[in-house]
Chain A
Amino acid sequence: MMDTEYGPGRTIPHPVMFRVLDSEADDLTVPEIKVEHKSEFAYYPGCVDYYDVEMQFSHMNYGDTNHGIIFDSSVKLLRAVGIQPMILDRSFMKCCGHDQLWQGKIDVFERMREYNTKIIKMLGVKTFITSCAEGYRTFRLDYKLDGVRVVHITQFLYERGLRIPPQPETAKRIRVAFQDPCRSGRQMPLGAVFEEPRELIKRVDNADLVELKTFRADAQCCGVAQMMYCNDKTKGLTRKRMDEAVEVQADYLLTACPKCLTHFGCLHHEDKWRPGEERYPYKVMDITQFLAERLPGEYPTGSNIDAKRKEPPLPGRRG
């Protein structure tokens, strides 16, 4: 551990992604904003595109974890409950600033908050839907969005009564475990998202909800928060959490936080180097993807999405 004048090892080498996000925050000029469907319901996908790039760039797990599909699935689900959301694209929104805040870069966070608040007010958003647990916490607690209701997408789908049609007769029964992200559960004094994802999973008729060893407010962390470190220790924590899903013989490990998905997906991918003796014989995915796969119909096109696309993007580098 290197010694610095701030104590040993107190300078963190930030990955390229954070340098990019930080420099992005410096420019507060508002670009030209094009939204296809002007609506008071806005959907903010968060930094999922950045994660995909970062995952591939750092050669962690290209080919497996697909964050882009969280966006497509969310739009598909929102359309299924009759909402045509205004998509708050990364072309004019900035990162919510969660990681910068928790890494101690308050000034960067405040610039992002100022900019994003301005855009949200400018577009007249009434209900702000996000599919990211960290975004949910940040927009609801750390931003001061008066008059804007910030909801996690599972809360919104639950209150709008999302119906999952009966699955085909041939479908096997599946055991589904849900990882509670700490940011949307334990850390939210009001509006903790515990019940809604579970209720939504129960609406899939061939799915049995199983609880991990620690769940709801006691749920163990996925291992990495605010993208601070990635080392043997954090891998150990992720492994512990994924072992809990093995113990309950889950077929799917779902989560509502792209960060959890990143870290689970990373370990899940490493596990595949010995085919046939996988430690984790289940799928890891976001809850929006799980629900959207069980809805009929194609993935959405139009709006800010590529018009030629008829199906979800291929995972990883090919997508």
Chain B
Amino acid sequence: MAARKLPLYRHLYFQVVCAILIGILLGHFYPTLAVKMQPLGEAFIKTIKMLIAPIIFCTVVHGIASMNDMKKVGRVGLKAIIYFEVVTTLALMRRPESTARKVSTWAGGLGLLAFLGFYFALPVVTKPAALGWVLSVLWPNMNTLVFLPIFGILTAWMGTRRPYSSYEYLLNECYQCGKCHTVCPVTKVEDDALGGLNLVYNTFKKQHDGVPLWTCLACDACSAVCPLDIQYSDYILEERAKVHAKMAADGGQKE
């Protein structure tokens, strides 16, 4: 099928390059106008993001459907699964946790999509007799294979959860022996912090408005006596960093 020769300006690539150039010129000569155009760009990006998942799904289905050689299909499926496992493992090795979670979730989702596309496309595009070795391999292990991506996602998720060392777990394990209350210097002078245990625990249990999170000296007197060895100052570090990251994302500290 010979495509009709299109003039240059009808090509999508050319149009994109032109748009980029116009954007650059606009930003250079009329910066205020360019900033006002921001919603347009954002809407465009969001539209693309919305379309990513269906596009990948359709691409995979189309790709498999247009393949002639069934062995190739089997190899592609295997490659998808291996890719997914490798990416998940890499994600697990990566710190910080939030990144690992994000990567593993994305990899899992994409792997699942690819696998489902593969799974649904296979019987449609092939004659039942020509399924050949692919189904004979897949059939006995079908349950495992269908649930493999989901198992993978769950394993990655639980691996990154680290439940036995997280602060939620440790702080909930606290059996309120009160040693930390005895040594916490701030609870002796701060009205907000009276009652309860040390400042960090009270903050965690939401027994006050959160101000003592900043009043805490991080002197670690509570951790030094804690029989459960809860590292309160590390918790303080994380919480403060979270608040500051949120502030920075919102455009810095208000004067």
Contact = CB atoms under 8 A, between A and B. Distances in A.
Interface string A204-230: 000000000000011011011110110
Nearest to A109: B241
B232 to A, nearest CB: 11
Contacts of B211: 1, 7-10
Contacts of B186: 233, 237
A10 B224 CA distance: 27
Instruction: Tell me what chain B mostly uses at the interface: helix, strand, loop, or mixed.
Output: helix
B185 A220 contact: yes
B205 to A, nearest CB: 15
A228 B248 contact: no
Contacts of A7: 209-211, 243
B239 to A, nearest CB: 8
Interface in A104-120: 104-107
A217 B224 contact: yes
Contacts of A221: 185, 217, 219, 221
Q: Interface residues of B toward A: which range?
A: 35 or more
A83 B183 CA distance: 40
Given A6-B246, A104-B241, A106-B241, A240 B220 contact: no
A303 interface: no
Interface in B129-153: none
Contact of A224 (B189, B217, B240): B217
B218 A226 contact: yes
Contacts of B213: 10
B168 interface: no
Contact of A107 (B215, B246, B248, B254): B248
Contact of B215 (A102, A104, A186, A233): A233
A140 B183 CA distance: 26
Which of A106, A107, A223 has the largest count of B CB atoms less than 10 A from its CB?
A: A106
Interface string A27-56: 000000000000000000000000000000
B245 interface: yes
Interface string B182-195: 01011011100000
Given A103-B244, A106-B244, A107-B248, A182 B220 contact: yes
B214 interface: yes
Interface in B83-123: none
A10 B214 contact: yes
B233 to A, nearest CB: 7
Interface in B195-248: 209-211, 213-215, 217-221, 223-225, 233, 236-237, 239-248
Contacts of B233: 187
Interface in B4-58: none
A155 to B, nearest CB: 20
Contact of A10 (B237, B243, B248): B243
Contacts of B239: 104
Given A6-B246, A186-B224, A240 B218 contact: no
B253 interface: yes
Contact of B217 (A10, A225, A236): A225
Contact of B221 (A10, A220, A236, A240): A220
A11 B253 contact: yes
Contacts of A237: 185-186, 188-189, 217
Given A10-B210, A106-B241, A106-B245, A225 B219 contact: yes
B242 to A, nearest CB: 8
Nearest to A7: B210
Nearest to B250: A5
A182 B216 CA distance: 13
B224 A104 contact: no
B185 A240 contact: yes
A4 interface: yes
Given A11-B253, A107-B248, A217-B224, A101 B214 contact: no
- Give 8 nearest A-B pairs by CB, closest first: A104-B240, A104-B244, A221-B219, A225-B217, A7-B210, A182-B219, A236-B189, A233-B189
Given A4-B254, A107-B248, A182-B221, 4 more contacts: A104-B239, A186-B219, A218-B183, A237-B185
Interface of B: 183, 185-186, 188-190, 209-211, 213-215, 217-221, 223-225, 233, 236-237, 239-248, 253-254
30 contacts: A1-B209, A1-B211, A4-B254, A6-B243, A8-B210, A9-B214, A11-B247, A102-B218, A104-B237, A104-B240, A104-B243, A104-B245, A105-B244, A107-B248, A182-B219, A186-B219, A186-B220, A186-B224, A187-B220, A220-B185, A221-B217, A225-B217, A225-B219, A228-B214, A228-B215, A233-B190, A237-B185, A237-B217, A240-B185, A240-B188
Interface of A: 1, 4, 6-12, 101-107, 182, 186-187, 217-218, 220-221, 223-226, 228-229, 233, 236-237, 240
